[in-house]
Amino acid sequence: IQGSLSGRRWDCVSFIRGISSAGTSSSGGVKYTFSKSGLKPVLSSDTLSGSPSPQKIQVEFLASGLSQVDIQLATSNSKSAKEDSVAGSEGVARVHAAGERAGIPVGAFVIPRKLGLGTFREYAEFDASDLVQIPPQVPLETAASLSLGPAAAWRLLNDSHLKSGSIVAVYDSHTALGQALVQLCAFKGYKTICVLPDSKIPFWSTMSQLLKVLGADLVIPESKLLSVSSVMKDVLNDFGSADLCVTCGGSGESASASLKPLMKSGAKVVALDETSGLKSANSSMDSTEEKMWKELLEISELGRLKLWLKRMKLVDVSRALEYSQSESSDRKVILFTKAGEKYLASQ
């Protein structure tokens, strides 16, 4: 699926069936682990031996999303990041071998459904129950970033019990999390007011156009909202007040204050955590989670869930971290392994 935005080309690469097994290996691949100085490459003992135990699968990763969680853990010396544990919270992999009771066939595409699996690597072996099989029609980059932002946004809307036509105000709507929320709102029939922080004014034209393409009904710069001019008051009065206000960038109290002019009496402000859609370890899939994955995959197959992304190589993860923290950063990074690069080249 291809399109253009402000003269720039942005692509979503669709899966195809019958992918070559070229690139598989019986020797260990590279993985990126947490260390006191950031992320470090380590030669892994993980292999594609082809003989997993009955309920496990061996996978080869194609791409992984660089999430805000990964950035914070890799750059802040956070105690939450266990040293030598594999980084990466989301990604898409192809099954190379499956145990007899795994329930996922060889050649299938899978994404994480639990936190902490570690996706910044070439090969891995997981319990099949820790992964979700996805249709091959789901665009590659969408699949690589589906487990966090879209899942968190879906759970928020599901738990909020909004009615068709409800209004959702989204602060930091330019983020991957915000973009996912805007699109899910549009899919479910909710209206959105998107508020862009002043720090993103240099990207105003591009970001406002992008959000409207994704389904936003109204896009407002934070400074205009805070000024509450007579024109802005008229616009907000005509559009209506928000039933739900959401912050998507960890902006805290400042974001909540900016959203106040938009709030309906009794409305609440929710600070959305991009990890809130995934389960912790040792939890089985319930009916709500089944419904979530079914809807997210349906929306993805229809091309109704797109993110504005930047492609980089997994070996350049340090450069990707620098880019993601820079003022010039305007997109989420998707990191491709060698196998993922070969896959893209085959399209």
pTM of the model: 0.87
Residues 309-332: what's their mean pLDDT?
Answer: 92
Q: What mean pLDDT comes out for the span 99-126?
A: 95
DSSP code, position 15: P
pLDDT in tens, 143-169: 999 999 999 999 999 999 999 999 999
Q: Which residue has the higher pLDDT, 224 or 321?
A: 321
168-189 average pLDDT score: 95
Instruction: Provide the pLDDT confidence category of residue 200 given band limits of 50, 70 and 90.
Output: confident
Sorting pLDDT into bands at 50, 70 and 90, what band is 117?
A: very high
Q: Taking the CB of residue 251, how many other CB atoms lie within 10 A of it?
A: 18
Report the Cα 158 to chain-centroid distance in Å.
18
Q: Percent of the chain beyond pLDDT 70?
A: 86
> What confidence category does residue 77 fall into, taking pLDDT thresholds of 50, 70 and 90?
low
- With cut-offs at 50, 70 and 90, classify the pLDDT of residue 343: confident
**Percent of the residues in the chain that have a pLDDT greater than 90, as a whole number:** 56
Characterize 166-189 residue by residue with b for buried, 16 or more Cβ atoms within 10 angstroms of its Cβ, and e for exposed. bbbbbbbbbbbbbbbbbbbbbbbe
Residue 116 is predicted with a pLDDT of: 86
Mean model confidence pLDDT for the chain:
85
